[in-house]
Structure 1
Amino acid sequence: MGIKGIKHVELRRVKEVIDGLKPITDFEVVDVEEAYGRVLAENIRAPIQHPLRDMAHFDGYAVRYDEVKGATPSKSLKLKVVGEVFANEFKEIKVGVGEAVHVATGAFLPPNADTVIPVESVKHVEGFIELRQAPPRRGWHVIPGGEDFEVGDLILTKGRVLRPIDIELLKFLGIDRVKVIRRLKVSVISIGDELVLSRADLREGKKLSTRSLLVKGFLRGLGVEVADLGVVSDDPKEIGELIKYALSLSDVVVTIGSASVGKKDVVHEVINGLGEPGVLFHGVRVKPGRQSGLALVGKTPIVMLPGLIQSTYVGMHVVLAPLISRLYGNPWREFSYVVKAVPQHDFYVKEFAGFPRIVFAEVVGIDGGCLKVVPYIKESPLYTPLIKGDVALIIPPRKINIKAGEVVIGIPTSVSDWLNPILKLIS
């Protein structure tokens, strides 16, 4: 459907276009300590088993089950404590007849012990323990060797975004360096005659360029290297020259502004003159953010973000984040999720050409498994919905009246890729 010269494509078409792009495969080897947030470029298999041996899960006494299984309050069993083992110690103490070994939580059991009696379950008598109740089964309070993983088990898969727990695990396994996909290089360009970089240059008709701070921060959260190429006027020649420069040093170019249909909104026309295939889509069926677009010059994607703050914000989540995810091999999609929310008062959302609309809402509590939210209905240039918004409520096409207590599906604003959850909600 065309609106004011823009052909807004369905969100499923946005997904098709992005999924048609090829992920990068170049990798680098980095220190594990520097790999947080990076995309793993290799499968990691366990070089050791964990635990290395049977391990105590409680502070207590390692015993042989066959010897203690008959203990009762009327027929107690007295065992001599012949040693002690602490976490990660390798002691070849054997448990003989009538004996027990004190073990700390995390200690490896003596080779012939198979059960742990917790400290609080025995009576201590001058180097001996008295057991008045048999453990319920062999292996009580014991973690078997290799239960976590065995040698050769696949523990981290290629394409995974490395989290703090992954870094800790790699180091624990003795892996000090790891292959990761190289960081994407993304250039950001702000477009507008009215924009200046310094407060000293402010005067009538000018404003400080700040939108790039939002975009750059968002991109860094996606694990890319960002180059801010500053501002450029609305002159098509100057825009073209700066984009050509950005293409020479970037995997992705992001433009902010000049994306609508005004006299000065020419970025899509400029891009079409830079090379094939040019603009892939200009306009998406979601509001705010409907002026967002994507182009391809040679093999380099160019994301066109609108300049109004809420529109920029939604465009980042619906086009930019899914693109970055795709180029990294789709590592974030598995973490996209939705929540149920119940607004605390009635609200009205303008219908717009059958588009799904996004309303930002603040979470104020929980009610029966649903988030209690207060929606903020304000126009695209205004900040309050984004500052207050914990959840982006997805309002289905043509629905305009939402009642207090009505369940509405939303996406936490902390989630970067909104394209796939929205598609699931409106399909």
Structure 2
Amino acid sequence: MDFFDVVSVQEAINRLMEAFKEYEFKAEEVSILEATNRILAEDIYSHIDVPEFNRSTVDGYAIKSKDSQGASESVPSLFNILGEVRMGEAAEKEIKSGETMYVPTGGMIPQGADGMVMVEYTEKLDEENLMVYKPIAFNENIILKGDDIRKGERALKRGKRLTPESIGVLAALGISRVKVYKKPKFYIISTGDEIIDLDEELELGKIRDINSYTLYSAIVKLGGEITGKAIVKDDYELLRQQVEKGLDISDIVLISGGSSVGARDYTARVIDSFEGRGVFVHGISIKPGKPTILGEGKGKLIVGLPGHPVSSIIVFGAIIEEFIYKKMEVHNHKLKTKAIMDFNFPSSPGQQTYQMVKLEERDGKTYASPSFGKSGMITLLSNSDGYIIIKPHEEGIYKGEEREVYLL
């Protein structure tokens, strides 16, 4: 593999998917109380109708809707009260023309009734007679059996991230345990003689380890798990030992730094030293993040990320997140919004450019302005709300055009 034989972002993803086409993230069964933010590993089909009976959406009286036509405050419709439906109990009586029963919100609609009059539009003459002052339409104020979910219908699709609303659907179906993908396991390695950890004394020429902490947070946000992290000096054997440790206890090993061409950059050599196909991408036409390495060792993914924090996070989102979500069949996973560009910006020919932007609301519209800075500046990320993608074939972006902004 020649250094910096760059490929497009899409080609890099294609090679990654091909290299790991047989690889599968395993599933596990968990309680729905532990399933929030996990990725569903199976389609969920309903074995019941939801609701299982016609239910009232208001407090009021169940009637035949046609009996209320023409009702008004001056000329009300008169009904015979048969009783009431209690919550949690079946409605045992059948409504005939001119008859009614009181039904609370969520209560079962009696047979024969096809509408609910809100209690505000009624008045009891006595315990047996009711006046209705407003006409209602057919099935008004009623949720019909199966309106929410029909028996046999797919209620939740495999690959869905389970939200509180999704957990509510599972509870409605009586499902207490569900299959989700196991959290992808990552091992993070930061490389470089100059890198020190947070608890070490900062000396002139040294740099605090930023990448492993930003990547740690990105992995947690993704829904992954970190099995360990380490700082390694520029030493081939030390790096290989850490990569081997990571391969044994994780799904993906991330090596931050050491991906560019240089006498002391050992990442590619280390990846090629393990059993497997070794490096299959060394260089991606992405800005920032060109010196990215993708490889395989012992059947696991090894990624050499650029040392600059912004480049590292951009590549993580553009490549690694895409890989994981494609394998788990997750769709529409990126949060995005539309914004009007508040600036002109040229592109880098042949490269897919990720331009950081800030968002601002003005006169009811959302505008995006550029966040400028070098990829080694971590504040470029913290001061930005998202980014836009400029495709390789585009000449740039123009002030006034509307673009999609991917939110951080």
TM-score (norm 1): 0.86
Once the two structures are superposed, the pairs formed by residues 230-379 of structure 1 within 5 Å of their partners are 230-327=230-327, 329-331=328-330, 333-336=331-334, 339-344=337-342, 346-349=343-346, 351-365=347-361, 371-379=366-374
CA change 1:348–1:139 in 2 (3 A) is: closer
Give the structure 2 partner of residue 410 of structure 1: 404
Counterparts of 1:401 and 1:300 in 2: how far apart (Å)? 37
Once the two structures are superposed, the pairs formed by residues 12-51 of structure 1 within 5 Å of their partners are 12-20=10-18, 21-22=20-21, 23-24=23-24, 26-51=26-51
CA contact (8 A) 1:40 1:157 kept: yes
Q: Offset at 1:167?
A: 1.2
Q: Offset at 1:239?
A: 0.7
CA change 1:264–1:330 in 2 (3 A) is: farther
Report which stretch shifted further, 197-206 or 51-60: 197-206
Give the structure 2 partner of residue 381 of structure 1: 376
Counterparts of 1:403 and 1:28 in 2: how far apart (Å)? 48
Q: Offset at 1:273?
A: 2.0
Report which stretch shifted further, 373-382 or 258-267: 258-267
Q: Offset at 1:98?
A: 3.8
CA contact (8 A) 1:340 1:407 kept: no
SS of residue paired to 1:310: helix
Q: Offset at 1:184?
A: 2.1
Q: Offset at 1:57?
A: 2.1
CA contact (8 A) 1:47 1:151 kept: yes
CA change 1:291–1:142 in 2 (3 A) is: same
CA contact (8 A) 1:393 1:408 kept: no
CA contact (8 A) 1:190 1:209 kept: yes
SS of residue paired to 2:263: coil
Cα deviation digits, residues 138-177 of structure 1 (max 9, x gap): 3222221112222222212233222221112212222111
Counterparts of 1:60 and 1:149 in 2: how far apart (Å)? 25
CA change 1:139–1:253 in 2 (3 A) is: same
Counterparts of 1:400 and 1:97 in 2: how far apart (Å)? 72
Q: Offset at 1:86?
A: 5.3
Counterparts of 1:80 and 1:390 in 2: how far apart (Å)? 62
Give the structure 1 partner of residue 63 of structure 2: 63
Unpaired runs of 5+ in structure 1?
415-427
Give the structure 2 partner of residue 134 of structure 1: 135
CA change 1:377–1:64 in 2 (3 A) is: same
What amino acid is aligned across from residue 350 of structure 2 in structure 1?
G
SS of residue paired to 1:231: strand
Q: Offset at 1:220?
A: 1.6
Unpaired runs of 5+ in structure 2?
none
Counterparts of 1:115 and 1:293 in 2: how far apart (Å)? 65
Counterparts of 1:97 and 1:411 in 2: how far apart (Å)? 58
CA change 1:396–1:173 in 2 (3 A) is: closer
Report which stretch shifted further, 200-209 or 70-79: 70-79
Give the structure 2 partner of residue 417 of structure 1: none
Counterparts of 2:232 and 2:267 in 1: how far apart (Å)? 11
Counterparts of 1:158 and 1:201 in 2: how far apart (Å)? 48
CA change 1:51–1:59 in 2 (3 A) is: same
Q: Offset at 1:265?
A: 2.1
CA contact (8 A) 2:40 2:158 kept: yes
Return the match for 1:393 from 348, 363, 388.
388
Give the structure 1 partner of residue 150 of structure 2: 150
RMSD: 2.5
CA change 1:341–1:367 in 2 (3 A) is: farther
SS of residue paired to 1:385: helix
Counterparts of 1:218 and 1:365 in 2: how far apart (Å)? 27
Q: Offset at 1:126?
A: 3.5
Give the structure 1 partner of residue 228 of structure 2: 228
SS of residue paired to 1:221: helix
CA contact (8 A) 2:341 2:403 kept: no
CA contact (8 A) 1:55 1:142 kept: yes
Counterparts of 1:273 and 1:293 in 2: how far apart (Å)? 14
SS of residue paired to 1:202: coil
SS of residue paired to 2:332: helix
Q: Offset at 1:7?
A: 1.8
CA contact (8 A) 1:282 1:294 kept: yes
Q: Offset at 1:387?
A: 1.3
SS of residue paired to 2:286: coil
Q: Offset at 1:25?
A: 5.2
What amino acid is aligned across from residue 381 of structure 1 in structure 2?
G
Counterparts of 2:86 and 2:6 in 1: how far apart (Å)? 66
Percentage of pairs with the same residue: 27
Counterparts of 1:9 and 1:413 in 2: how far apart (Å)? 26
SS of residue paired to 1:340: strand
CA contact (8 A) 1:258 1:306 kept: yes
CA contact (8 A) 1:352 1:398 kept: no
